[in-house]
Amino acid sequence: MLILGIETSCDETASAIIKDGREILSNVVSSQVKFHKNFWGVVPEIASRKHIEMILPVIQESLNKAKVSLKDIEGVAVTFGPGLLGSLLVGLTVAKGIAYARNLPFIGINHLEAHLYACFFKYPHLTPPLIGLIISGGHTELIYISKDKEYELLGSTRDDAVGEAFDKVARILGLEYPGGPVIEKIAKKGDPSSISLPLSHFKDNETLDFSFSGIKTAVLYYVEDLKRKNKPIPLENIAASFQLKVAEMLLKRIVQAINLRGVNKVIVAGGVSSNRFLRSFFKEKISRGVDFFFPSMELCTDNAAMVGICGYYKLKEGKTSPLSLDANPSLRII
């Protein structure tokens, strides 16, 4: 069965063709990063305009690369939230049009769930119960996935998302956007224990929520102080110390979740899960008997393959959506 997956929730216009949920025939991602770079973040108005320009050529390219035509497609899956409203509407409207015109099953996909399916795709025999951590530019969600594949939100960020913190710290350091890859790169040359940054604390010891604005502000004050004193800014050391502290914060919550639910398998997904330092830190630091699962690198950041894969499984379970489905910018995992 061939599924067309479409993703336009943020600043990637993406389309993919998935065969039987197991084979990615094509996975085309047109990034808008160069249009948003100068603004240090995604500008919603620019994003939706670029999606309108790119969506049809990107879908056509995904069909060409898969050597199929629209006539061969047997279902259309599209992200309907969470994300930017104007951006979501572009993909959603085109997907509805194709499904209606060709009388195909239409499947609305939760972007967060799609990130998890990027991981299930790599490990098809992985079965819940599991702890899930979704870390991206817009999300930091710690979840419990029950035996029946039901999601329960255990904790989320109270301020910045992890990827957002990487992006903001990169901006403070005068690096480029998006910040995650460049911070990971320069951190390799830095000493992670050279600068002491704060671990976030909540009054409630039991909470599984996160906070990343404190560490970002600590980096800002540190840099401003050095600038005032006309001292050089140790970019590599700051990047390494920041990255280590973020890894420690995330691991602390993972350990709490593991203990709370007695589960020893953890899946980590979303753009930030492509960070190699985080991956090895989690695996090294956690006690024996806990297994970590990450998506392949190309399926960590936003793409439509994960949407098509998720769509295939939803369709198999009979979970299609009406064509009246609306975009939901603040859709949650539960």
Binding site for ligand KG4 (CB under 6 A): 10, 136-138, 163-164, 166-167, 178-181, 184, 270-272, 274-275, 301-302
Kindly state the helix (H) or strand (E) to which residue 30 belongs, with its residue range. strand 23-31
Instruction: Extract the tokens encoding 181.
Output: 């890859």
Q: Is 65 helix (H, G, I), strand (E, B) or coil?
A: helix
Per-position DSSP letters for 187-229, written without gaps between them = HTTS-TTSS--PPP--S-TT---B--HHHHHHHHHHHHHHHHT
Residue indicated by tokens 């819940």: 128
The tokens describing 215, both together, are 């560490």
272 touches which of ligand KG4, Zn ion, none (CB within 5 to 8 A by kind)? ligand KG4
Selection from Zn ion, ligand KG4, none that 167 binds (CB < 5 to 8 A by kind) is ligand KG4
Residue number with CB closer to Zn ion (87 or 320): 87
Does residue 141 touch Zn ion according to CB under 5 A? no
For the bound state, the minimum distance from the C-beta of residue 88 to Zn ion, rounded and expressed in Å, comes to 12
Residue among 63 and 112 whose Cβ is closer to ligand KG4? 112
Indicate which of Zn ion, ligand KG4, none lies near residue 308 (CB less than 5 to 8 Å, by partner kind): none
Q: Between 129 and 181, whose beta carbon lies closer to ligand KG4?
A: 181
Query: Which residue's CB is nearer to Zn ion, number 7 or number 236?
Result: 7
- In the complex with ligand KG4, the residue whose CB is nearer, 2 or 54, is 54
| Cβ neighbours around 257 below 10 Å, total | 20
- The closest of 18, 15, 24 to 3, measured between CA atoms, is 18
Q: Does 87 contact Zn ion by CB under 5 A?
A: no
Query: For residue 129, is the peptide bond before it cis, meaning its omega torsion is within 30 degrees of 0?
Result: yes
Query: How far apart (Å, rounded) are the C-alpha atoms in residues 183 and 263?
Result: 32
State yes or no: cis peptide before 234, omega within 30 of 0.
Answer: no
Position 321 contacts Zn ion (CB under 5 A)? no
**What type of residue sits at position 194?**
S
CB-nearer residue toward Zn ion: 8 or 321: 8
214 binds, among Zn ion, ligand KG4, none (CB under 5 to 8 A by kind): none
Candidates 302, 305, 308, 321; binder of Zn ion (CB under 5 A) is 302
Residue 236 interacting partner from Zn ion, ligand KG4, none (CB closer than 5 to 8 Å by kind): none
Give the residues lining the site for Zn ion (CB under 5 A). 136, 302
